[in-house]
Amino acid sequence: MRITIAEDSTLLRDGLVHVLERRGHTVAAAVGDADALLTAVAADPPDVVIIDVRMPPTHTDEGIQAALALRRTHPDVAVLVLSQYVETHYAAQLLAGPIKKLGYLLKDRVTDVTQFLDALQRVAVGGTVLDPEVVSQIIGASQRTDTLHTLTARERDVLALMAEGRSNNSIAAALHLSTASVEKHITAIFAKLNLPPSTTTHRRVLAVVHYLEN
């Protein structure tokens, strides 16, 4: 099997090359950014690409956007996303198209080399391999998107002003409401977006993120 690797961590990239070549596979290219990946695949298409989500220069979503591009330009090349992160928006786009020759695994949950290689083989021959946590997060994001439609017009107004970074007092002044009314609307927003009280997350920030994503 011929494999191209796109991973910005030199240690992990070299480790993957070592593991794959020891098992008899050929590494066609091992690169550190998405542009180099697209160039390498265009010049010499492999059987499968292993790609990280966050890559230079911004380390946000270059990798998974490259994966989407490869699905359009080289549909015969299998794609295995291997990352620490679930980029739900782009992951959902990946799954919205043909899902053959596609995989998405989380680095922290890959604990067995043999299982990883088996997953790589299944993807290469046309199968689909998805970490259950990836599926769970995509479904959760989809459910949160749907719940935005359950907000009342006033609740959406409040959430829009929250997204501007306004305090409750500022929101109250802008909408000609009492601060208590704003607090009630925010409580309702948290409930409808399935954001229970938590000591490890900031509900106001999460609500704004859900709003901005849509």
2-135 CATH fold: Rossmann fold (3.40.50)
Residue 90 pLDDT greater than 80, yes or no: no
Domain ranges of the chain: 2-135, 151-213
Fill in the amino acid letter for 129: V
Higher-confidence position of 202 and 2: 2
Mean pLDDT of the chain, nearest integer? 87
CA–CA separation, 77 and 115 (whole Å): 21
| Contact between 18 and 62 (Cβ < 8 Å) | no
Give the pLDDT confidence of 5-37 residue by residue, as tens digits: 999 999 999 999 999 999 999 999 999 999 999
Q: In this structure, what token pair is assigned to residue 93?
A: 């786009």
Give the pLDDT confidence of 186-198 residue by residue, as tens digits: 999 998 888 888 7
Fill in the amino acid letter for 195: L
Give the pLDDT confidence of 148-166 residue by residue, as tens digits: 788 898 998 999 888 878 8
**Count helices and strands in the chain by DSSP H and E runs:** 10, 6
CA–CA separation, 184 and 206 (whole Å): 17
The CATH architecture of the domain made up of 151-213 is: Orthogonal Bundle (1.10)
* Per-residue pLDDT band at 178 (split at 50, 70, 90): very high
| Residue 103: exposure state from Cβ atoms within 10 A (0-12, 13-18, ≥19) | buried
Residue 135 pLDDT greater than 60, yes or no: yes
Measured CA to CA in angstroms, residue 135 lies from 44, 95, 97, 106, 202 at distances of 32, 10, 15, 11, 23
